[in-house]
Structures are given as C-alpha cells and as structure tokens.
Structure 1
Amino acid sequence: MIFNTKRFGQIEIENNQMIVFESPILGFGNLKKYILLQSEDKKSPFEFLQSAENEDLSFIVADPFVFFPEYEFHLEPHWIETLAVTDESDIMVMVIVTVRSADDISCNLKAPVVINKSNNIAAQIVLDHRGYSTQELLLREKKGAEIDADSVKK
C-alpha cells in the first residue's frame, strides 16, 4: 500500500506493518490505523506514529524505558484480552512526545501506547497511577546549566 504523508512524502508499506488501534489515541477517536516509522537517524530514540487515515497527522513517540528506566505499570487483564496478548515479549510500549522548544520536551507517561507486535493491535491506555504525568519532562536540566558564567577567570 502507498500512503501520502505531509512529513515523509509518499511511503509504501506492507499490510503487516499497519497498526490498528482498538482503543484510539485520545482526541483522535476516528483515526485507528497508523504506521510506525523510524527516524532517519537510526540511533535516535524517537520514532514517528503516522496516521494512515490523515496525511497531516503524525506523533513523535519513544520507548519510555530509555528515558525513565524506573517506569512500570501493570497491564490489566482487559487490555491483555483486547490486544490478544499471548506472550509478554510481544508487547511494545511507546509514549507520545511533545516538543514545544529545544528545552521543553515532554512525554505522556500517564497514557502510554501499547502495541502487540505479533498482530499489530494497539491501544492508548490511561493508567490509574498518580505518579505519572501527561507532561513528564525529558530534559530535567537546561543545557549549560552546569556552567557558571561568573566563574570565568580574567
């Protein structure tokens, strides 16, 4: 299949690459089909979740465990059934990243995107966990914060 996208131009994917959301991304309930695209920089921790139904819509996503190794939650039996999970290793967790500026980048730890890699069924799940925020900062210190401008010797 060939799709037109605003950000990536024309892309071609196989049927087995289509991710279908059983529980759609919040605010985008009418859009259920997406494609996960890697950044051109293969070392980047960020990927793109491109809508297959709206060429203008793509989300920046990332593996939350890269930035927050202590991040954890329990997948309720309802979601295991909805996603048709048979093996825990088939689960991929991504979070939506928001970039407001170079120093203001956050991710939504409160509502991760959970994908079953074996069948490409996905859901955005709102966690009942008070410690997680929808705007968890990725950069906890501003660049250059460790430099004291007054410490320059004359």
Structure 2
Amino acid sequence: MVVNTKRFGQIEIENNQIIVFHSPILGFGDLKKYVLLQSEDKESPFEFLQSAENEHLSFIVADPFVFFPEYEFQLEPHWIETLAVTDESDIMVMVIITVRSADDISCNLKAPIIINKSNNRAAQFVLDNRAYKTQQPLLREKKGADIGADSFKK
C-alpha cells in the first residue's frame, strides 16, 4: 500500500503496519489510521506518527520513559479490553511532541497514546493526574538545532 505524505513523499507500507485508533487522537476524531515511521538516526528517541488518511498530518512522538523515567500510570481495565491486550509486554506508550523552536519543545504527558503492538490497536486517553501537563517541557536546558527531527527511515 502506498501512503502519500506531505513531509516524506510517497511511502510504501504493508497493511499490517497500519495502526488503528479505537479512541482517536484528540482533535482528529475522523482520522483513525496511522503508520509509525522510525527516524533515520537510530539513536534518536523521536518517531513520526503519520496519518494514512490525511497526507498533511503527522505527529512527532516519543517514548516518555526516555525523558521521564518516573512517569507512571495505571492502564484501566476498559482500555485493556478495548485494545485487546493479553500480554503487558505488547503495550507501547508514546506521547506527542510539540516543537515550537529548538529550545521550546514539549510533550503531552497528560494524554498518552497506547499501542498494542500485537494487533496494532491504539488509543489516546486523558489521565486523571494533575501532575502531568499537556505541555511538559522536554528539554531542561537550551539545546541547539541539531535534534534532526525531520529525518526518517522508510
């Protein structure tokens, strides 16, 4: 299957790479199919969640535990059932990254994305924890523009 993207051009993906959101990304309720694209830089913690239905929509995402090892929450039984999770090791947690400038980067710890890697079912949901912010600063100190957030591997 070919997916047209504004950022990366045409990309070839297999049907089993499509991630289907059973609880859509907030603000994008009509778009349910995405593909996760890895960065070309193997050391980069950033990936791209590209809509398979809208070529103009892609999110930068990352594993929150890389930046916030103390981050934790309980996955409610409702979500375990909705995503058909049978093994905890199949769960992947991602958060959406917002880049305003090289030294103003934040992530949404309040509304993580959960992906069941065994069946590619996903959901974004809002945590009932006041400690987590929708715009949690990602960088604790000023960084240069060498993050390389626009490169990916097809």
Give TM-score, length-normalised by structure 1. 0.92
Partner of 2:30: 30
Partner of 1:138: 138
Amino acid at match of 2:88: E
Q: Does the aligned pair in 1 maintain the 2:102–2:143 contact within 8 Å?
A: no
Structure 1 residue runs of 5 or longer lacking an equivalent are: 145-154
Give me the whole-angstrom Cα distance separating, in 2, the residues matched to 1:43 and 1:143.
17
The CA RMSD over aligned residues, in Å, is 1.0
Give me the whole-angstrom Cα distance separating, in 2, the residues matched to 1:52 and 1:27.
16
Query: What does the per-residue CA deviation read over 1:101-121, in whole Å, with 9 as the maximum and x for residues that have no partner?
Result: 001000000000000000000
Structure ranking higher on relative contact order (CA contacts 8 Å, 6+ apart): 2
Give me the whole-angstrom Cα distance separating, in 2, the residues matched to 1:45 and 1:62.
6
Partner of 1:150: none
Structure 2 residue runs of 5 or longer lacking an equivalent are: 145-154
Give me the whole-angstrom Cα distance separating, in 2, the residues matched to 1:2 and 1:117.
21
Partner of 2:88: 88
Partner of 1:122: 122
Give me the whole-angstrom Cα distance separating, in 2, the residues matched to 1:42 and 1:54.
26
Give me the whole-angstrom Cα distance separating, in 2, the residues matched to 1:102 and 1:17.
31
Aligned residues: 144
Percent identity over the alignment is 87
SS of 2:22's partner is strand
Moved over 3 A (4+): none
SS of 1:122's partner is strand
The answer to whether the aligner puts 1:98 opposite 2:98 as a matched pair is: yes
Partner of 2:148: none
State which structure, 1 or 2, has the greater radius of gyration over its C-alpha atoms.
Answer: 1
Query: What does the per-residue CA deviation read over 1:18-45, in whole Å, with 9 as the maximum and x for residues that have no partner?
Result: 0000000000000000000001112100
Query: What does the per-residue CA deviation read over 1:43-89, in whole Å, with 9 as the maximum and x for residues that have no partner?
Result: 10000000000000000000000000000000000000000000000
Pair 143,43 (structure 1): closer, same or farther in 2 beyond 3 Å: closer
SS of 2:56's partner is coil
Amino acid at match of 1:106: S
Give TM-score, length-normalised by structure 2. 0.92
